[in-house]
Amino acid sequence: MDEGVSVIKTSLKSVGWREDRLQDLRDLVRRVHNITTHTYQLARWIFVNEPVDDPTFNPGTLLKTNFFKTVFLSLVQPQRRSGIKPKKQTKQNKDLVNKHVGAYMAAANIGRPNYGAMSEIAGYVNTEIEKAYTENVHLRFGETLRHTINVLLDTKKRAKEMDKKMSEKGKSKAEIRKACSESIWRPAKKVKNALRSRYIDPNQLSPKARWVYEQLKPVWATYDDPIKGNKGKKGLRKRLLNSDHEKGSNRSNVDRMVDDAFAKDNIYYDAKANPQRHLKAFYLL
């Protein structure tokens, strides 16, 4: 039976770390921290600037490809090559990073330090940065999309104005909350629910939801790759076959659309199930 592992926090001296090597360790930590910071910043630089040259660029496709490892290693002096031919994806990552690293280093006013072999550390940093990106989308995409819709509908300002007008008329807080809920918050929630699908028929939307959808069309346009899994999509197939938007489409085309749809036909759910698919959309929001 596994008895588990106990972990305690203590100093390096107490675990027997050699006194004469402590400064070397501190220097290494400082170096890694510095390069990791620039790795985050260079990656963001690429994610912001590459779409200017290539509108189809999708940063989500770079996750799980050791992209951040490539970024990290581009910021230090290269070491001797192993002679092994790099994989196609690795070469593509290097080409993309090399396209931007010079401009970034000039803007940041930094050079490439010679820290020796950093490949293993770069691999660890890659894992941590990937985790940070996916968790950020997982936790904040739905909230950000809902907030964006609220901003487009101007819900906060409208609720404040309604509160002021009804307060001046002597209405109670309960009456004000009920009025705001019925005329502002519930309609806003309906708009959010109406816009949760990947395939939206504008003809089926209310005028207000249709206007919001038009503003957010670039977000939906980022989803150009299949989203695997067919969980909760049976109803979507029937809806697509019967919708005015897709009438005349053959079954194979509808089947493809279903396969490419959001899990449970719900963008909020899919952002948690497949966060890497939503990274580009998250940047647009």
Angle at 53 between CA 51 and CA 59, to 5 degrees: 30
User: Quick one: pLDDT at residue 258?
Assistant: 55
Is residue 147 scored above 50 in pLDDT?
yes
What phi and psi, each to the nearest 5 degrees, are found at residue 156?
-65, -45
Kindly report the number of other CB atoms within 10 A of residue 142's CB atom: 20
How far lies 6's CA from each of 3, 9, 72, 171, in Å? 9, 10, 33, 60
User: Quick one: pLDDT at residue 122?
Assistant: 92
User: Quick one: pLDDT at residue 88?
Assistant: 86
Average pLDDT along the chain: 84
Could you read off the pLDDT of 110-134 as tens digits, one per residue?
998 888 778 899 999 999 999 999 9
Could you read off the pLDDT of 165-190 as tens digits, one per residue?
999 999 999 999 999 999 999 999 99
Quote the pTM value.
0.75
Is residue 164 scored above 60 in pLDDT?
yes
User: Quick one: pLDDT at residue 215?
Assistant: 93
Is residue 40 scored above 90 in pLDDT?
yes
**Of 129, 190, 184, 126, nearest in space to 156 by CA:** 184
Listed in sequence order, the residues at least 6 apart from 201 whose beta carbon sits closer than 8 Å to its beta carbon are 243, 244, 245, 246
Enumerate the domain spans of the chain. Answer: 18-117, 140-284
Could you read off the pLDDT of 237-276 as tens digits, one per residue?
555 556 544 445 555 555 555 555 788 888 999 899 889 8
User: Quick one: pLDDT at residue 77?
Assistant: 87
232 band by pLDDT with thresholds 50, 70 and 90: very low
Residue 272 CA to residue 63 CA, distance in Å, equals 15
Q: What is the CA radius of gyration of the chain?
A: 25
SS3 assignment for the chain: CCCCCCCCCCCCHHHCCCHHHHHHHHHHHHHHHHHHHHHHHHHHHHHHHHHHHCCCCCHHHHCCCCHHHHHHHHCCCCCCCCCCCCCHHHHHHHHHHHHHHHHHHHHHCCCCCCCCCCHHHHHHHHHHHHHHHHHHHHHHHHHHHHHHHHHHHCHHHHHHHHHHHHHHCCCCHHHHHHHHHHHHHHHHHHHHHHCCCCCCCHHHCCHHHHHHHHHHHHHHCCCCCCCCCCCCCHHHHHHHHHCCCCCCCCHHHHHHHHHCCCHHHCHHHHHHHCHHHHHHHHHHC
User: Quick one: pLDDT at residue 234?
Assistant: 53
What is the pLDDT averaged over residues 70-89? 82
What is the pLDDT averaged over residues 12-27? 78
User: Quick one: pLDDT at residue 14?
Assistant: 75
Lowest mean pLDDT among 113-122, 208-217, 221-230: 221-230
Residue 156 CA to residue 162 CA, distance in Å, equals 10
How far lies 203's CA from each of 17, 207, 213, 245, in Å? 70, 9, 11, 8
